[in-house]
Structure formats: structure tokens, C-alpha cells
Structure 1
Amino acid sequence: MRGQPVTDARDNELDMDKEQVEDSAGILGAPPSLPITRSMTATGVEIHAQESTLARNHTVPGTSSNSPTVVSYNVPPAQTPMNKRSIYYVSAFCSFGGFLFGADTGSIGSITSMPQFIEVYPTLRNEAVLGALVATILMSASLASFASGWLSDKYSRKWTIMLGAYIFGIGAALEAGSFNLPMLIIGRLIVGVGEGFFLSAIGVYLVEIAPPDVRGRISCMLQLFVTIGITTGYFTCYGSLNIQSTLSWRTPFIVQAGVAMILGSGMQWLPYSPRWLFQNGRVEEAWRVLEAFDRHSSSEKEKEELIAKAQERQGRDETLGVVEVFKDPDSRGRTLLAVFMMGMQQLSGIDGVLFYGPILFSQAGLTSRQGSFLASGVSGILNIVCTIPAQLYLLDKWGRRSSAIVGGLVMAVCMLTIGSMYAAGADAGQGRYAIIVFIYLFVIAFSTTWAVSFKLFITEIQPTRARATASSLAHSSNWLCNLAVALTTPLFLSRSSSGPYFMFGACLLLTSVVCMIWMPETLGKSLQEVDEVWDIRMKKSKEIIHSLVTFGVGRERRNDTNEMELQERGRA
């Protein structure tokens, strides 16, 4: 089959020995066993990788428009054609990892408030012990997340998700069967390891299988399932609260263990990430995955991008480790921004609301246990209802940057308003309902903005060879800040009703400013084009910082000059 012309760097490069031809064809995906032929044309050299079966030709971007060399290579057709919707089915299934995370987050606060649970573990009446138990899962998750990047690069995103799901299931089963505090703590530690493995791997997997035009929709599937899990956790506890035995608090753990085993078993049937396959030299498999997903509208652009990445692989390391991402100038700034954003996502206070919802609503005036549980469930429903339009429409229309900035400012207003009402003593009477409304507004703002935009942005902004490592570092930052929130929120609330809200509001304002200066817009960009918008944004951010510094120095000099003039007038 005849290929399309590819430009060559020089006009006079018409001779190419057979060994070079075979090497080039091998890089681009033509199987080494296929015969390579060469023919002369009026414009250059034409190379053919011949195949007897039906194949498709793709163009490799060249370096010059003069006297092109024509390289034809063959991409094996998909063995099993799939429906265009198959990418949504695959994304939805692996996103059950988000459901597991959400189910634990939504249930643990309610479980620790159940009378049947407190009867078995009376020491958890102490706020410090309670915070430590809730945070146990976060400690192991933050450590496991460091290893997730290496596992994803070494053994694939797919197998890392599977391993994490099985580990989570074992830990949840231990929690369900626990009869003393050490056994419960060990179970939560194991659950945390599973979450640390699969959460960052799922985020990378979804970004890498999704075409640019629907990447936001596909990648936000994870957050949608997180919200579904949170709500399921709330209402599972609400339903099991009336069981007059330890099954009241064991049931949520049993549900989580079952879902985890289903996820682990089913992952073996899902395809590998095409970018991971390409990165590891399994080019034919990568093409088959792309063809199977029928990447219609953006397929040619993306295939050219993958080819460019294959050429880029020559003579350089395949992936970057934890130290290398900070040494490499191309990935250092992106990694630092990702680590900052994912840490500040937790310091927004969202998990303080989700973990300790019953406590917050009780403090706001809902004294009955069922009332506070139900109010927490309502916040979970709002989470789902708001995430769906954000996933289907807002993120791929509004953009990542606008979502981050506007969402941060709205949430800051909510948190600072609640803190001010508590500080002014306006939380009594009708004021308590205003506090509950602002808590709900905060949840709505988070669900429609930061919840969906941050995890997508920090993954798609990274170069392919640093994506898994940078993503795992960012998630580790998220876990560590989550740990700090889980440990301190009960103690903080017991000593100051307003303090936590003021702290969260300040963090939200700071993050909004950072996003204004350093965050580029990646909406509709291929992962190759993201590199360009990142460079442009960095130039603009330097100009902004320089202007601010210049303005500050100039103002200081003007103040000094005015002060000297006043002193001289005084002497006169």
C-alpha cells in the first residue's frame, strides 16, 4: 500500500540504506517481519512496509517541506471492532475505584457516630482517637501513592488498578470482621494502600484513553463515581442505623469489599492504555486499542501525536522517576503546580465536610441523630446532581482554568461567611439554617468546579514520560493534606466553631490567585498541544510577577521619596 508524503530535513537526502529504512519502519509500527521496499520518485524516496492483510496508512510529521521522503507503514486493524460508546463503558467500569473511595469517605463519619459502633469501641469517644482512626487510611494511601507511579509505568495502569482493588477488598473485609481496635486499624491501613494504588492510576488511564474532544467528560467519570460512592455510603449508614446489632456498622464495609473484588476481577478484560503500550514499544497493540475505541473525530491528530512520541523515545529515558521530574526543566514546573493544586483541593475543607458531616450539622443545630445523618445524605445527593452537568457540559465548554478560579472564589465566600456567622454568634435561631444553606452551596460549588477540573488538569498537563510519576506525587500531596484535615478537624471544631472555616477560606483565596497566574487553559487541546499552551502561560506568569515586583519596588521608592521631602520641609 502507498503512504502519504513525509517531509525530510534536506533536499539531497535521496539515498537511504536498507538498515536505516528497516529501523525507521520498526519505530513507526511496521512489524520487522514485513518486507521493506524502496523506490525512487520525482520528489524523493518512497519506502513501503508491505502487508498482505488489510491495513491503514498514517502520516508522520516531517521537518521540512522540501523534497519529502515518503515513508509508508501499516497499522494492523482492530481485531474486534467496538461501538463508539465502548470508551464510556470502559471508563465507567474502571471508575468504580472512585466509588470505593467515595463509599469509604461517605460512611466512616456516620459509622463512628453509630451507638452500636461506640459500644464496641468506646475509646473512639475521644476526638483525638477518632481523628486518628479516620486518618489511618490516609497515611497508608499517601505512602502507597508514591509507589503507584512506578507501578503504573512498569506494569501498566490497568494492572495497578487491579492490584489496588484486590488490596482494598482485603482491607474492607478485615474492617467488616473486626472485633478489636488493632484489627480495625490494620484493615483501614490496608484499604489505604489499595486506594493509593488505584486512584492515581485510574486518573492517568482515563486521560490516556480519551480523545481531546471528550477528555473532560471521560476523565470526570472518576469524580462522578466518587460522588455516587459518597451518597451510597451516607444512605447505606442511614438505612443500617436501625439494625440492632453490629451489622449496622459492618454492612457498609461488606458492600465495599464486594464492589472491590468485582472491580479487581473485571479489570483483566479492559484494554491497556494506548500511550502506555506505545511508551513500552508495543506499537501494534496501541493501534489496535485506538481502532477498537473508534477514535473518530480526533483520531488522525492523535495518531500523529503518538508517532511523534515514538520518535521522541529514541535516545532518551522512557519515564521519569520521583527525583527526575524535579530535575527535568520540562516537567518541574508542571509537577510543582500539580502537587500544590491537589494539596489545596483538600485544604478547601471539602473532606472536613464529608468526613464529619453529622458533627457539622449537629453543631449547626440539627440535634437528632437521624436528622444530621439525613442532612449529610442530602449533601451527597447535591454532590451527584451537580457533578453530572459539570461532567457532561461545563468542563468541556467552560474550561479548566475558569472553573478553578471562579469555583475557588465562590467557595471562599461560603467558608468566610460561615466563619463570620459563628464568630459573631449569629448561628442561633434562624441563623443555623443559613449556615446549613452555605454548607450546601459550598458542596455545590466544589462539585461543579474543583472536583472535576483539578484531577483532570494535573494529569493532562504532564508530559507522557512524567505523567504517572507526577500524578502519583500530586495524589500523595492530596492524601497528606487530607490526613491533616482528618486529624485536626474534630479537635479544631471542639475548640473553635469559626476557626476552621476562616482557615479554609484563606486557602481557597490563595489557590484562586495561584491559578490566575500560573494555570493555562487546556480545553480542547491534544496532549501534544498542551506543551505549547504551558510554555505560553509560563511566559505570561513571568510578566505578571515582574509587573507586581516592579510596582511594589516603585511604590516603595515613591514612599521613601515622599518621606524625604516631608523631612526636608520640616527642617526648613
Structure 2
Amino acid sequence: MAVLFYAQGVPIGYMAIALAVLASMGGFIFGYDTGQISDILIMDDFLLRFAECKTPGDASTCAFSIVREGLVVGLLSIGTLVGALLGAPTADYLGRRHAMSVECLVFAIGVVVQITSEHEWAQFAVGRLVSGLGIGSLSAAVPMYQAETAPSQIRGTLTATYQLFITFGILVAYCISIGARDISGSGSWRTVVGISFVWPTILGVGILFMPESPRWLTKQGRIDEARLSLAASRGLPAAEAENHFVINRELEEMREAVEYERKVAAGWLDCFSFERKQLYRTCLLSALQMFQQLTGANYFFYYGATVFQSVGISDSYITQIILGAVNFGCTFGGLYVMERFGRRLPLIIGGIWNSCWLFVFAAAGTAQNPQDNPGIGKLMIVSACLFILGYAMTWAPGVWILVGETFPTRTRAKQAALATASNWLWNFLLAFFTPFIVKAIHFRYGFVFAACNLTGAVVVYFFLYESSDLSLESVDMMYGDPYCKPWTSRTWAPAGFTSRADLVEQSRAAEAHKPLAGGREEARIEKV
């Protein structure tokens, strides 16, 4: 054990980074599966096997019907929707780590079903459905595990690595696809799908060597293990854990929260109670997950190859890689933005930025036919890249961070599952209905997404509380404070502190064992 660095005056260990990065392989799995289907849909052998062909053996005459294409792409999201709801009880029953291992196995079974498909498109679609069960469960378990194990001082950055790995997975899928497209026969698409076995193996096995969530351990009454888990994330030796004030403070907060939960039974109905704004929080995060889908990002990720073919790009694979690289690279900026500027401001500005560039994309494609005007086609690609830049730095990581840190411990798994299920429901609706909508309104579809981005920014301003720099228990206190409003929440702090900035300063002073103003060090530390 060793301290890697200090954040706001408190120690952060190597293990905190390692467990967040490894758990984020769950996001990589999702991203890879999202990115691969766009390119697979236009591979010659895949078209010959599963599409409808006017001339047998001639891939140029093959095309998917709108319904078939929507189901091949969208059934993954139906699986993820169900998986997200199953992820909560699974994570609570097995623990966060073992649940992730089981979910990786489910995903791998779906991959087997896909690569053994010969000529039945329905089998391939069902394989994506099964893989979706694993991905959906992971999407509920991973952000929850990261939020519960990460030190609050860098929780935003560590939780955002889930989204970073989603973008990395998308980019890797694009790169592998361009390398595999010239493989003869079914090797082209089977190589892309078959490599998927690597990612769940890394996560499913590796996560067993990471510490379990200290909050889950506390809930199980395994206090000594919870203390060691906290010490690992702080980079402190086990011998120091019992007497270190940071560990004792955090452990006491968890024990108090668990005691409260035991007095109040927590079922699914508790996610919709009015107590401490439970219904409010469930609806808010479900709405934010919906708006993350309605930003329009997956319009480009699922159907990007087809979209760029329609604007006259000769090699849409290359354009996909450019888009994926922008998405991945800018997500690093998102880690900084969400940690430096909190949650509310980036989401509001991001919604406005995204809306502007989607409006440009739609207006350009509507004004002239991009296939007849290369300049218009280039403008649309640039505007798509600038949209992805804004999305990757704000809405992409921000919503997943909020899922992990907005809910109280006793219902976190269930509420996270409901919010994530909203994401997958809208993911499916967009994946399935996009071909129908594009056929009817073409590039004017971008105007719809532009309006949704603006609406999402308005929702954030009026309803989302600022949760950065607070412990998960303090976030729960903030939502339960009737005097705190979303637009004033940036300065809210627990009792004993004058503001959020005061809380940060007192934490630094406490770590350095400096005397606090008014001699209230002991009292304030106990209340953080």
C-alpha cells in the first residue's frame, strides 16, 4: 500500500485508481459492442448471409429491411434494459465484484450465439439480446461499485472512467473493423465479434482481485473488511487503518447510514417515496439518462457508417474512426471538466453546445444534397465531430457520475437500475426507430436532437442538485434539505460548514492537523 497523491488534503492510493480502471472494462465491453455493429452492417459477407439480396452472391444488391436492421441493432438494448433491472438485486445479493464476474459470463454466452450464426439473422439478433443482458447488468453494477469505493475527492473523475472506456471501446471496434473488413468470407465479421471474448475475461477475472465495496461490506456487517477496503483506496497500510481519522470518519458515516436503513425496510416501492425526495431523484436520473440518449450520439455510433455513406464519403470506415477518436480523446477533457466545474454547469453548457452543432448538421443536410455538394458533406462531418466533442466532455461522463452518487445507500442499487433501464429503453427506441425516422425526414432528424439537448439543459438547471465534493451520505442530506434549491446547491454544505468551499478547506486543514477557526475541528470533521 502506498499513497499516490493527496486530494484536498486527504490521501489517495494506487488501488483507488486501479479498481476504477478495471471496473471500467464494463464500459469498454458496452462501447465495443456499440461500435462494432455500425461497420458489421455494411460488410459484404454479413450482407450476403443475413440481408435480402436481389442477386445471390452480389453484395452490392443486398440490403437490410428497415425492421430487420432495427432489430439486429436494437435487440441488444432490450437485453440491456432487462439486465439493468436484474443488476440491482444481483449486485446486492452477490456483492459488486462477484456480480460483475457473473455478468461477464452472460455476455460471453451471447458472443458464442452470435459467431455461430450461419444464415439466420434472428440467431445473431438473439445473441446480441443475450449479450445485452450482461452489458445492462454491468451498466448498473460498475458505476455503483466505482462510486462506493472511490474517495469522494476524486469520485467524479474515477466514475467518469466508465464513460471514457465506453468511448475507447467504440474506437477500438472501429479500428478492428477496418482491419478485418478485407478478410475473406465470414472471417471479417466473426473476427470483430469473436475478439469480444477478451474484454469480459479481463474484467470477470481481474475484478476478483480488487477490494469489495466498503459500503456493501458495511451493510453485510463485515466492518473489519470494510475498513481494509477503505484503507486500500486511501493507500494506507492495514496496520494504520484502525486509528486513521479519515478511515474512521468515513466508516462511521457508513455505519450510521446502514443503521438507518435497517430501521426502514428498503424495497422497490421506496424508490418512489416522497421521503428525502426519493421519487424526485428516481425520476430526475431516469430523465437525465433519457436525455443522454436523446442527445443524438448513438445516431452516429449505431448508424454512422450508413450516415457518412449518405453524405458522399467514399470510405465511411475512416470517417467512423475519426469520429471515434474525437469521442475518445475529448472524454479525457470530460474527466477534468466534471471534476473542476462540478456537475450542473458542464451539463447546461454541453446541452447548448450540442444543440448548436446538431442544428448546423441538420440545416446543412436539409438545405442541399450533400452527395451533390462535397462542401456541405464536409461541413456536416465537422459539425458532427464538434457535437461529439461537446457530448464527450459533458453529457457522456456526467450522467454516469450522477447515477453513482445521487442515491442513498439503502436504495442505490435499485434506483441506479431504474435510471439505467431508462437509458437502455431509449437506446432501443432510437436504435429501432431511427431507420424509419431517417427514411421519413432524412437529415432533419438533427433538429429533433437539437431540441432535446436544449430541453435537457433546462431540466438540469431547474432540477439537478450539485453533488461534487460531497460524500455520498452528504449528498443524501442535501436532497433532504427543504431549504436547498438546485440553483443554490453549489454552496450547500453539511451542518457545521458555511459553504462547500469551507468544507474543502476544513478537510485540508484536518488532514494537516491544523487548528480550525473557533476551535471546532473535532465537531466539523465528525459531520463531513
Q: TM-score, normalised by structure 1?
A: 0.76
Q: Match for residue 308 of structure 1?
A: 256
Which of residues 80, 92, 99 is equivalent to 1:141?
80
Structure 2 residue identity aligned to 1:104: D
Q: Match for residue 158 of structure 1?
A: 97
In the TM superposition, 1:94-133 aligns within 5 A as 94-123=23-52, 125-133=64-72
- Contact 2:112–2:127, Cα closer than 8 Å, also in 1: yes
Post-superposition offset of 1:444: 0.6
- Contact 1:150–1:321, Cα closer than 8 Å, also in 2: no
Q: Does 1:523 align with 2:468?
A: yes
Q: Match for residue 258 of structure 1?
A: 198
In the TM superposition, 1:14-53 aligns within 5 A as none
Q: How many pairs are equivalent?
A: 457
Q: Match for residue 442 of structure 1?
A: 387
Question: Residue 308 and residue 101 in structure 1: after superposition, are their counterparts in 2 closer, same or farther (change >3 A)?
Answer: same
Q: Match for residue 195 of structure 1?
A: 135
Structure 2 residue identity aligned to 1:491: F
- Contact 1:169–1:257, Cα closer than 8 Å, also in 2: yes
* Aligned equivalents of 1:426, 1:406: Cα separation in 2: 31
Q: Match for residue 13 of structure 1?
A: none
The C-alpha deviation readout for 1:69-110, integer Å capped at 9, x for no partner, is xxxxxxxxxxxxx99212211221121111111111011010
Q: Does 1:365 align with 2:312?
A: yes
Post-superposition offset of 1:301: 4.0
Q: Does 1:245 align with 2:185?
A: yes
The C-alpha deviation readout for 1:122-162, integer Å capped at 9, x for no partner, is 23521221111100111121012111111112221212211
- Contact 1:211–1:298, Cα closer than 8 Å, also in 2: no
In the TM superposition, 1:327-366 aligns within 5 A as 327-330=273-276, 331-366=278-313
The C-alpha deviation readout for 1:415-450, integer Å capped at 9, x for no partner, is 122222223227433122111100001111010001
The C-alpha deviation readout for 1:231-279, integer Å capped at 9, x for no partner, is 0111111110111221100011111123223322223222211001111
In the TM superposition, 1:155-554 aligns within 5 A as 155-179=94-118, 180-294=120-234, 299-317=247-265, 320-330=266-276, 331-366=278-313, 368=314, 371-391=315-335, 393-425=336-368, 427=370, 428-535=373-480, 539-540=484-485
- Contact 2:465–2:486, Cα closer than 8 Å, also in 1: no
Structure 2 residue identity aligned to 1:88: I
Runs of 4+ in 1 over 6 A off after TM superposition: none
Structure 1 residue identity aligned to 2:172: T
- Contact 2:15–2:235, Cα closer than 8 Å, also in 1: no
Q: Match for residue 87 of structure 1?
A: 16
Identity %: 28
- Contact 2:286–2:420, Cα closer than 8 Å, also in 1: yes
* Aligned equivalents of 2:382, 2:340: Cα separation in 1: 28
Question: Residue 426 and residue 536 in structure 1: after superposition, are their counterparts in 2 closer, same or farther (change >3 A)?
Answer: farther
- Contact 1:172–1:188, Cα closer than 8 Å, also in 2: yes
Structure 1 residue identity aligned to 2:267: G
- Contact 2:323–2:385, Cα closer than 8 Å, also in 1: yes
Q: Match for residue 553 of structure 1?
A: none
Post-superposition offset of 1:540: 3.0
Post-superposition offset of 1:535: 4.2
Question: Residue 314 and residue 483 in structure 1: after superposition, are their counterparts in 2 closer, same or farther (change >3 A)?
Answer: closer
**Corresponding residue SS for 1:497:** helix
**Corresponding residue SS for 1:272:** coil
Post-superposition offset of 1:526: 1.1
Larger radius of gyration: 1
- Contact 2:478–2:484, Cα closer than 8 Å, also in 1: no
Post-superposition offset of 1:324: 2.2
Q: Which 10-residue stretch deviates more, 354-363 or 291-300?
A: 291-300
- Contact 1:518–1:538, Cα closer than 8 Å, also in 2: no
Post-superposition offset of 1:328: 4.7
Post-superposition offset of 1:390: 1.9
**Corresponding residue SS for 1:496:** helix
Structure 1 gap ranges (5+): 1-81, 544-572
Structure 1 residue identity aligned to 2:381: I
Q: TM-score, normalised by structure 2?
A: 0.83
- Contact 2:76–2:129, Cα closer than 8 Å, also in 1: yes
- Contact 1:213–1:298, Cα closer than 8 Å, also in 2: no
Q: Match for residue 549 of structure 1?
A: none
RMSD value, Cα = 2.1
